[in-house]
Amino acid sequence: MKFSTKLIHSGRPADSITGALTAPIYQTSTYSQESPGSPRQFEGRGLSYARTENPTRAGLENALASLEDAQYALAFASGLAACNTILNLLKSGDHVIAGRDLYGGSYRMFTKLYTKFGVEFTFTDITDMNEIEKAFRSNTKILWLESPSNPLLSIVDIAAASKIAKAHGALIVVDNTFATPYLQSPLKLGADIILHSTTKYINGHLDVLSGALVTNDEAIWKELKFYQNAVGAVPGPQDCFLILRGLTTLDIRMDKHCTNGKKVAEYLDGNKKISRVYYPGLKSHPGHKIAAMQMKDFGAMVSFDLKDKAQAVTFLKNLKLFTLAESLGGIKSLVCHPATMTHASVEPAMRLEAGIGDGLIRLSVGLEDPEDLVADLDQALKLTLS
Ligand SMILES: Cc1ncc(COP(=O)(O)O)c(C=O)c1O
């Protein structure tokens, strides 16, 4: 089945009892059992308790696995709950390599939570294969990649990085939140586990918090599934239903997101007063060629530098259409100031080392008319930079 067909059909067969075309929301916390310890079997899954299995959630998991041409997917209550479940694979004394430029919440979980349990982290420039090679130790268990990265849209050569990690016997995790399965297929480039914050493009409507993990490795899936149930950070069936509904238009939304993102990036790039625009679709982006190879298109996240925090704050106040808010990947265009918002938990020195300055602005370009979006940026920049 082609991708668009999968978006419409996978994970949501008509209800086997009523024929209802839209898969039902199984709003229940538990299931009746006919004899103790032998849960009812439904669509290949045993139904004992809704933390362990829920048919609406199963539909979402089946759909997400199918979109990555994968065997297995697991849904979680948030992207960070999914991120936490990957780290549950580790034990004290294990080591993880990650990029300096990554989502602030992942960095916070690594450094403020997992270091407490004796897990060690090295943050390096993962766009440079020599730096990745140098960071490996005998106890390295995971190479954690985010591409495109949040907030600087850095691009990692996933296939090359995966080769290095495999030679060292480490697992490769790719946070595919910015790209989605429509634009990038990390399992085909060598990744072992894909992480999605499905809160973002996959749901796409700014109304659900959720996450997912996708893998082809049965042993990894079994262990992750054990933690999914043992820890219990699962999404409710209403949320799964909304994500399944949002998913049906992922390809159409992503195409328009990418068109709009490119127009916004080109406008900003042409503005002489802006020193730097971060968008992998620009030929000047250091990762452009790799992005063109491993992605179908370049996405709709665009960042750029203003001079300092004061200038950034003025610019944000002058915007009319872009909403100042955390999150991304939804129908409405959002703007964020990473230094004080999404990346506020990253220590200032680490932030600056990663290149996340106090003047950095991150745009999540939505589905409005691109002329209106560019006009809004233009009027706000004129007021700010005049
Ligand atoms: C790249 C990336 N990964 C993971 C997450 C965490 O997802 P959630 O907010 O759904 O917990 C985010 C959130 O912004 C993100 O941008």
Q: Whose CA is nearest to atom 14 of ligand 1?
A: 327
Per annotation, catalytic residue among 94, 101, 175, 297: 175
Q: Which atom of ligand 1 is nearest to the CA of 199?
A: 10
Reported as a single tens digit per residue, the pLDDT across 342-370 is 999 999 999 999 999 999 999 999 999 99
Is residue 112 part of the annotated active site? The answer reads: no
Are 189 and 201 contained in the same domain? yes
Burial of 306 (0-12, 13-18, 19+ CB in 10 A): buried
Burial of 92 (0-12, 13-18, 19+ CB in 10 A): exposed
Q: Residue 157's domain spans which residues?
A: 3-247
Are 104 and 170 contained in the same domain? yes
Q: How far does the centroid of ligand 1 lie from the alpha carbon of residue 330, in Å?
A: 13
Q: Is the CB of 297 under 6 A from ligand 1?
A: no
Q: Is the CB of 180 under 6 A from ligand 1?
A: no
Q: Which two tokens stand for residue 147?
A: 């591409």
Are 212 and 263 contained in the same domain? no
Reported as a single tens digit per residue, the pLDDT across 191-244 is 999 999 999 999 999 999 999 999 999 999 999 999 999 999 999 999 999 999
Give the chain's domain count. Answer: 2
Is residue 103 part of the annotated active site? The answer reads: yes
Are 95 and 211 contained in the same domain? yes
* CATH assignment of the domain containing 170: 3.40.640.10
Q: Is the CB of 105 under 6 A from ligand 1?
A: yes
Q: Is the CB of 125 under 6 A from ligand 1?
A: no
pLDDT of residue 147: 98
Amino acid at 184: Q
Are 212 and 314 contained in the same domain? no
In the three-class reduction of DSSP (H, G, I as helix; E, B as strand; rest coil), residue 301 is classed as strand
Are 210 and 198 in contact by the 8 Å Cβ rule? The answer is yes
Are 57 and 153 contained in the same domain? yes
In the three-class reduction of DSSP (H, G, I as helix; E, B as strand; rest coil), residue 239 is classed as helix
Q: What is the pLDDT along the chain (386 residues), one digit of tens a residue?
A: 999 999 999 987 778 788 888 889 999 999 999 899 899 998 889 999 999 999 999 999 999 999 999 999 999 999 999 999 999 999 999 999 999 999 999 999 999 999 999 999 999 999 999 999 999 999 999 999 999 999 999 999 999 999 999 999 999 999 999 999 999 999 999 999 999 999 999 999 999 999 999 999 999 999 999 999 999 999 999 999 999 999 999 999 999 999 999 999 999 999 999 999 999 999 999 999 999 999 999 999 999 999 999 999 999 999 999 999 999 999 999 999 999 999 999 999 999 999 999 999 999 999 999 999 999 999 999 999 98
CA angle 335, 338, 341 (to 5 degrees): 90
41 C-beta neighbours (distance < 10 Å), count: 9
Is residue 207 part of the annotated active site? The answer reads: no
Are 206 and 98 contained in the same domain? yes
Q: Is the CB of 197 under 6 A from ligand 1?
A: yes
Domain boundary among 226, 247, 268: 247
Are 291 and 299 in contact by the 8 Å Cβ rule? The answer is no
User: Ligand 1 pocket test: which of 83, 87, 103, 109 has the largest number of ligand atoms within 8 Å of its C-beta?
Assistant: 103
Are 206 and 327 in contact by the 8 Å Cβ rule? The answer is yes
Are 231 and 269 contained in the same domain? no
Q: Which atom of ligand 1 is nearest to the CA of 342?
A: 14
pLDDT of residue 11: 84
Are 26 and 149 contained in the same domain? yes
Q: Of the candidates 109, 206, 102, which has an alpha carbon nearest to the alpha carbon of residue 156?
A: 102
In the three-class reduction of DSSP (H, G, I as helix; E, B as strand; rest coil), residue 148 is classed as coil
Domain boundary among 216, 247, 278: 247
* CATH assignment of the domain containing 282: 3.90.1150.10
Domain boundary among 193, 213, 247: 247
Are 228 and 254 contained in the same domain? no
Q: Is the CB of 199 under 6 A from ligand 1?
A: yes
Q: Is the CB of 209 under 6 A from ligand 1?
A: yes
Are 243 and 257 contained in the same domain? no
Are 329 and 362 in contact by the 8 Å Cβ rule? The answer is no
Q: Is the CB of 59 under 6 A from ligand 1?
A: no
Per annotation, catalytic residue among 57, 100, 141, 200: 200
CA angle 331, 71, 251 (to 5 degrees): 25
Which residues, including other chains, have CB under 8 Å from residue 263's CB and lie 6 or more apart? 370, 373, 374
Beta strands 95-99 and 45-47, pairing class: unpaired
Q: Which atom of ligand 1 is nearest to the CA of 83?
A: 4
Are 50 and 184 contained in the same domain? yes
Is residue 31 part of the annotated active site? The answer reads: no
